Amino acid sequence: MKKRSKVVAVITGDIVGSSAVKDRAFLNMAIKEAFDGIKAEKEYGMLRSFEIYRGDSFQGVLDPVHALRAALSIRARLRQWKGPASITSVSRGKKTSKRPLSIPLGLLPDARIAIGIGTVSYRSSKVMESDGEAFKLSGHALDGLGKSTGRLALLTPWEEVNMETGASMQLLDALVNKWSSASAQAMFHYMVKGSTQSELSEMLDISQPAVHKRLVAADQLAIHAALERYEQLIESNLER
């Protein structure tokens, strides 16, 4: 009996909105922090490290069931931008104070991310040198995003999954595009660590009602429902 090839997810992405950030090194640090947060959680089933190339593009391989959660987590970490570009000096008489600079939602650092699910025909020690169905589908999905204003796409070998998730990817993208830095910060910790509101309150050093407000603003319940449905769909198809 021929052994079935392992099905994986390949995430391919590139940064958008980076023109609002003057410090590129700090932006790269944010990308790596997102990857490190995902790799630290065993349930993501990372097969190898993500790789950054051309300065603002990245690719990685992971368990297909958790690929969508990982993709949204990466975008959440980027949108919770905190760095040199987020601080402005404010003169008040003789005193000068610093306060966060409010960056318009459309200018927050973000990423176009395409998920391809399928088999791998060639595995190299470097993600970028590997090949196979999952890599090709991820590349096709990213090319499709280049012809639209969307920032999230998914392609699988299963047509019924593609038909069901096509609209949900657009809806999820619309929700993420509304995340402020504060909401993105709460959602990042919620999606990566599954943190409760009480834990988020302590972690972010804000009140629990403030955490609740951030999660409501981020449409956390809708995101949670979409992630659960996606995970059920992928699990059921992997079991066939």
For the record, the structure tokens of 15 come out as 């940064």
Burial status of residue 184 (CB atoms within 10 A of its CB: 0-12, 13-18, 19 or more): buried
Instruction: Tell me phi and psi for residue 237, to 5 degrees.
Output: -75, -30
Tokens linked to 7? 């099905």
Q: Which of 5, 70, 10 is nearest to 35 (CA)?
A: 70
Neighbour count for residue 8 (Cβ, 10 Å)? 24
Concatenating the DSSP letter of every residue in 12-79 gives EEEEESGGG-S-HHHHHHHHHHHHHHHHHSGGG---S--EEETTTEEEEEE-GGGHHHHHHHHHHHHH
Distance separating alpha carbons of residues 95 and 15, to the nearest angstrom: 37
What is the per-residue pLDDT for 209? 95
pLDDT tens track, the chain, 240 positions: 334 468 999 999 988 865 666 667 777 777 787 777 777 665 655 545 678 887 778 898 888 999 999 999 999 998 887 654 443 333 444 444 344 445 666 667 889 999 999 998 866 666 666 779 999 999 999 999 987 889 999 999 999 999 999 999 999 999 999 999 999 999 999 998 888 999 999 999 999 999 999 999 999 999 999 999 999 999 999 988
Both tokens assigned to 164 = 């069901």
pLDDT the model gives residue 195: 87
The predicted structure's pLDDT at residue 52: 82
Contact 17, 152 (CB under 8 A): no
pLDDT of residue 40: 67
Sign of the alpha-carbon dihedral angle for 192, 195, 199, 205 = positive
Q: What is the pLDDT of residue 102?
A: 55
Residue 101 · residue 85 · CB < 8 Å:
yes
Which contacts qualify for 220-224: CB closer than 8 Å, 24 or more apart?
220/186, 220/187, 220/190, 222/175, 223/72, 223/172, 223/175, 223/187, 223/191
Stated pTM of the model: 0.84
- Taken in order of first residue, the domains within the chain and their CATH numbers are 7-88+101-238 (3.30.70.270)
Note the maximum CA span of the chain.
Answer: 80
